[in-house]
Every structure is written in C-alpha cells, then in structure tokens.
Amino acid sequence: MFDPQRRIELRKCFIYGLLGAHSASIELQKCPNCPQGYIGPDCTDIGIFNLNNQSLFTLTLLDDYTCHFSRSETPFVSWVSSTACRYLNHQSPVPFIKEKTFRTAWFSYIRLVQLENDMRCVRCGPTPKVTIWDGVTLAFNRKNLLATLRPPTLVDEHSEIKDRIKPQQGLQLLGDKSLRKLIQTILAGQSLCLPELPKEHDDRPSGSATKEMMDRIGLVPDAVERLQHVSLGLGNLFGRWFGMDYLLCKRKPPVEYKELFLQVRREIVHYSGLFLTMS
C-alpha cells in the first residue's frame, strides 16, 4: 500500500537490541484506509522486526528468547527481568520495555518464523512411531492460543484407526520385578541410618522401628550385587551411599540419591504412544 508519490514523514522510534536500545528516525506514510494508521518499513532485510513503527527489535534479541524458551522453558517475566539488568550493566541510554509489550512483539514475530523442521528426529524422521510427551511449568494467555490447536487424543473422521493395540511390555529400566521391589523396600519410609546402640545395663528390648531399620540395612548388600549385574556403575553408586561404610559415619544418605534410585525402580506403562510413570 506504500505510494512513493505521497508524502513521507520522519518519526522517532526505538530499536531494542541484545545489549541495549537507542533512538532512531523511521520513515512513515499515512495509511489511506485508517485515519490513525501509518505504513512503515519491514526492516527484516537489515535484521530488525518492526512491531508498530515505534518499537523495533533486532532479530538477535527475539531469537535469544526463542532459544531460552525452547531449551530451558524460560518464562517471559524472568527473561525480561534479566534483559533489563543486562541493559543496566551496559549502560543503555534507553531502558528495556515491559514484559507485556515484549510478549506481544515475540508472538507477532514467531508467527512469521518457519519452524517446520525444528522438531524432526535425525533417526526417526518427522513421524516417529513412539513419542514421549512432557509438560513445562509455564503457560500463555488464552488469547494467544490458535483456533487450530487440538489435543493429541482428539479423534475425528481423518484419524487413523489401529486395531489390536496391546501395551508394550518390558520398558522398565530394571526388568527384574523382584529387584525393583527390593529397592523400594530399602528406600521406603525413613532414611537409612544406624540406630543407637543400647547403653550398658539397659535390658529393654529394641523397638519395632529399630528392627525394621536393621532389616532394611541388611538387604542393601543383596541389592548392590544384583544392581551390579545390571550396571556396575549403578550398583557401586547404590553401595556407596546406602552401604554400611557410609552409615557407620553416622550420616544419612543424600536425598538426591534416594530420589534417583526411586526413579530407577519405577514402573513405566506404555499405551497408545504415551508413556506413563507409575509410582
């Protein structure tokens, strides 16, 4: 709609980059269809995305958030906050914009980016037989959801029908069911620790909690040996943090390693292309 014969105006704008922003002049032409609208340059050929003829963003800045979002699920608020600090550190003459404005700019930009091959598996291609779905701890405003978005379980007239689907067995990391139960028995409840020895002339019988703890500790050597048959490193790791040598130092095994082995022994059920972890 730009007409080179019509009058061109110079107006002030701000260009936001990765390390700072600066003011500039932009050539605009009044839109013939809307009374308050202006026709501005595209600017993508010089690496700039023009949002509204007033706020312009370098593609480097927008791609930086795309990278953070796709690799570490960074929400807008935290990324905008860290970018504002970066502007301060580099003494930018123009402060960074608010989170709401940047969110509008990024969604406007990402709709123009071609991402067809971004999620293609190098081994399985664009349509692998089995996919693992996971969630992230962030969400967008409902107005940003496209009308074409559908859940993967939605069935319509074009859906492929596969009869005789059976759950796929043997997907657990530890195939031995008794070994998984053994690890669960050892790690369930209170963290392993050596009970206090009864004092001299103390004839009181040891409590049930003490007996239960010693029974669990007594199962550790068997678990270590059986884990070593599966993975030598995994068995040695279990023996290091849950074995008698560590417990004799009057220490409790780190929570991180307890969570690790609880994950290792979990059941995984596969059905219709979806993986479910069962506690």
Say yes or no: 78 and 5 in one domain.
yes
Is there a single domain that holds both residue 4 and residue 100? yes
pLDDT digits (tens, 9 = 90+) for 222-254: 999 999 999 999 999 999 999 888 888 877 888
Distances (CA, A) of 242 to 88, 165, 230: 49, 41, 18
Tell whether 186 and 119 lie within a shared domain: no
Are 56 and 120 contacting, i.e. CB atoms less than 8 angstroms apart? no
202 in any annotated domain: no
Pair (8, 61) in one structural domain = yes
To the question of pTM greater than 0.85 for the whole model, the response is no
Pair of tokens at residue 277: 């972890």
- Are residues 8 and 134 both part of a single domain? yes
Number of domains, the chain: 2
Same domain (yes/no): 133, 181:
no
Q: What are phi and psi of 76, to 5 degrees?
A: -60, -40
Q: Same structural domain for residues 126 and 188? A: no
Shared domain check, 138 and 8: yes
Cα separation, 256 vs 240, whole angstroms: 14
pLDDT tens sequence for the chain (279 residues): 777 888 888 999 999 999 999 999 999 998 888 878 888 998 989 999 999 999 999 999 999 999 998 888 788 999 999 999 999 999 999 999 999 999 999 999 998 887 666 667 788 877 777 776 665 545 667 777 777 777 777 888 888 877 787 777 777 888 888 999 999 999 988 888 887 765 555 554 457 888 888 889 999 999 999 999 999 999 999 999 998 888 888 778 888 999 899 888 887 644 444 444 444
> Tokens 């790791």 belong to which residue?
237
Say if 112 falls within a structural domain: yes
Give the length of the chain.
Answer: 279
* Segments forming the whole domain that contains residue 125: 1-149
